[in-house]
Amino acid sequence: MKTPLHVFALILLTSAATTAVVLPIATAQPSSDPQSAAVPLAGQATAVPATPLVSGLPDFTRLVEQVGPAVVKIDTTVGGRAGARRGTQSPDEELGEDQIPEIFRRFFGPGFQMPGPGGQGTVPRGRAMGTGFLISDDGYVLTNHHVIDRADEVKVTLSDRREFTAKVVGSDERSDVALLKIEGKGLPVLRTANGSAVKPGQWAVAIGSPFGLEQSVTAGIVSAVGRSNPYANQQYVPFIQTDVAINQGNSGGPLLNTSGEVIGINSQIFSNSGGYMGVSFAIPIDVAMNVVDQLKKTGRVQRGQLGVMFSRDSITTEEARGFGLPDTLGALVTEVVPGSPAEKVGIEPGDVIRSADGVVIRQPGDLPPIVGNKVPGTKVKIVVFREGRERTYDVTLSELDDSAVAGGAAPRPGAPSNAPASGANALGLATQDLTDAQRRQLGLDAKEGVGIARVEGAAAREAGLSPGDVVLRVGRTPVGSVAALDRELRGVKPGQTVMLLVRSSGGGSRFVAITPE
């Protein structure tokens, strides 16, 4: 039976320490028979390596020998003074279930057993392990935010077993990047690659500490680039997707190309079991280094803001028909933040953003990384589609204000007004005027919005509309009364697609396409 996509968990890859068991390997004297030297028999070993039976496959041994020493193990302790400042227990108290970060509850809660025969390796509460790598010979270390989040103490162990107590220079939750500093000189360093040169199909190598097994090497290919993450608050990261085997403990480790250059930081996996299932994600190194530069200079990360909210779903064929689009590319704007750069230049709800800074927006998730990874004050060229043609705006980005663009749930409209509901219109919607109190509760302007009282048409039901939703616009035209809505729908014929901007009773605005039969 296939597992539905929605039950898959997005797993952060922090791991806990364990003990590796080394098994003895039996060896035998080489055979003197030249026929048997080409293909050794079971239990026999050749004096010199036999001729490879398979050629043309990559050999990563030189790469690992050269870059392995710059990959470090990271151990963290959660609790103590830092934990107390963040609302966790004091150092001499045991962390409670509700006080352990989600990733620790998922993998390291009471009774968690490391995979393996007999479930060996019970993990102590409040301790976790990850991976990192050196980016400067004087001790700067790059890793994931979630590896060191809430940590009271961070220990870094080099491949030669030297151990350091690390200082957290800064950390950014949105990109899941953290910068550490250890005291040292002449340390081994990894080079970084040109992030824009990463292509699907190229070989990729990971080095890390899955399940505490240090300096483990896995390899695969880049499956895709520019992946958005709809399951976490990381819309500003265009993830690299790979099939490189990644597990708990690989978090923060390097993803490398065949030149030994870092192309990404291993961060997450999709899994319904907690283990590797062939889909792994890494933060592009150019995104990470942008964060590093800002953390070094100011200790915080600034991001550019356009000031629009848009549907996270890709534009459908029906929606494209409703807006007169030539194709389904772009991000459909549902709201514009008052006073934002987008509002100042004239971008409106119903516009479809087709490109930003010269980059085509193929799907909505492409837009936030382009804008968010630019410094506030940067001028960006935005191309939108409106009323049958494209328009270009030069937008000067402001600094991201989380409260202004969070796109959180809007308040419910509350009880229906006393106004009588209209009969069902051409779309199968029975509507009613909103009261001033309902508009205030929804944050709407006076004479903005029409309440849905009943949904009678099959097409409207299939569009996901329900009583309590509020119609804000028909296409690009605002409506504030039943009469205004009916005027806009006058003349709608069967088979004609109509676009409605709707404020859901559960919160948030979206465009829906309705094609009456």
The C-alpha angle 429, 330, 290, rounded to 5 degrees, equals 130
Ordered domains of the chain (ranges, CATH): 66-181 (2.40.10.10), 195-298 (2.40.10.10), 304-405 (2.30.42.10), 429-514 (2.30.42.10)
Residue 280 in marked binding region: no
Q: How confident is the model at residue 234 (pLDDT cuts 50, 70, 90)?
A: confident
| Nearest partner of 330 among 351, 353, 308, judged by Cα | 353
176 is catalytic: yes
Residue 249, pLDDT above cutoff 70: yes
Q: 3-state class of 358 per DSSP?
A: coil
Q: 3-state class of 306 per DSSP?
A: coil
Residue 146 in marked binding region: yes
Share of the chain above pLDDT 70, in %: 75
Indicate the pTM of the whole model: 0.71
Burial per residue of 233-257, b for 16 or more beta-carbon CB atoms within 10 angstroms, e otherwise: ebbbbbbbbbbbbbbbbbbbbbbbb
Residue 12, pLDDT above cutoff 80: no
Instruction: State the pLDDT at residue 271.
Output: 75
How far apart CA 336 and CA 168 sit, in angstroms, is: 37
Residue 403 in marked binding region: no
Residue 318, pLDDT above cutoff 80: yes
How far apart CA 7 and CA 188 sit, in angstroms, is: 42
6 is catalytic: no
Q: How far is CA 297 from the centre of its chain?
A: 25
Residue 299 in marked binding region: no
Catalytic-role residue among 15, 75, 145, 146 = 146
Catalytic-role residue among 251, 271, 504, 505 = 251
Q: How many residues does the chain have?
A: 517
Residue 517 exposure: Cα atoms within 13 Å on the Cβ side: 7
Residue 210 host element (H or E): none
Strand-pairing partners, residue 142, are 133, 179
CB 356 within 8 A of CB 380: yes
Residue 460, pLDDT above cutoff 60: yes
Q: In this predicted structure, which of 12-16, 201-205, 242-246, 324-328 has the lowest mean pLDDT?
A: 12-16
Strand-pairing partners, residue 192, are 262
Output the CA torsion sign for 448, 452, 458, 461.
positive
């629009």: which residue's tokens? 308
Instruction: State the pLDDT at residue 229.
Output: 72
Q: How confident is the model at residue 448 (pLDDT cuts 50, 70, 90)?
A: confident
Instruction: State the pLDDT at residue 228.
Output: 81
52-68 per-position pLDDT tens digit: 766 678 899 999 999 99
Q: How confident is the model at residue 11 (pLDDT cuts 50, 70, 90)?
A: low
CB atoms closer than 10 angstroms to residue 181: 18
Q: What is the mean pLDDT of residues 316-338?
A: 92
Secondary structure letter of residue 115 according to DSSP? S
Instruction: State the pLDDT at residue 120.
Output: 35
Q: What is the mean pLDDT of residues 453-459?
A: 80
| Nearest partner of 149 among 104, 201, 98, judged by Cα | 104
Please write down the HEC assignment for all residues of 440-496: HHHCCCCCCCEEEEEECCHHHHHCCCCCCCEEEEECCEECCCHHHHHHHHCCCCCCC
Q: How confident is the model at residue 407 (pLDDT cuts 50, 70, 90)?
A: very low
Instruction: State the pLDDT at residue 121.
Output: 37
Instruction: State the pLDDT at residue 10.
Output: 56
- 123 vs 14, 97, 491, CA distance in Å? 12, 14, 68
Q: What is the mean pLDDT of residues 313-342?
A: 92
E-assigned strand segments in 209-253: 216-227, 239-242
96-143 per-position pLDDT tens digit: 333 333 333 333 333 333 333 333 333 345 678 899 999 999 999 999
User: Please, what is the average pLDDT of the chain?
Assistant: 79
How far apart CA 66 and CA 161 sit, in angstroms, is: 17
Q: How confident is the model at residue 415 (pLDDT cuts 50, 70, 90)?
A: very low
Instruction: State the pLDDT at residue 436.
Output: 86
Q: How confident is the model at residue 81 (pLDDT cuts 50, 70, 90)?
A: very low
346-364 per-position pLDDT tens digit: 999 999 999 999 999 999 9
Instruction: State the pLDDT at residue 216.
Output: 94
Residue 274 in marked binding region: no
Instruction: State the pLDDT at residue 42.
Output: 58
SS3 breakdown of the chain: % helix, strand, coil, rounded to 5? 20, 30, 50
159-206 per-position pLDDT tens digit: 999 999 999 999 999 899 999 999 999 999 999 999 889 999 999 999
Q: What is the mean pLDDT of residues 78-93?
A: 39
210-223 per-position pLDDT tens digit: 988 999 999 999 99
Q: Hey, what are 272's tokens?
A: 């319904």
How far apart CA 487 and CA 489 sit, in angstroms, is: 5
509 is catalytic: no
Instruction: State the pLDDT at residue 20.
Output: 38
Q: 3-state class of 34 per DSSP?
A: helix
Catalytic-role residue among 75, 149, 152, 176 = 176
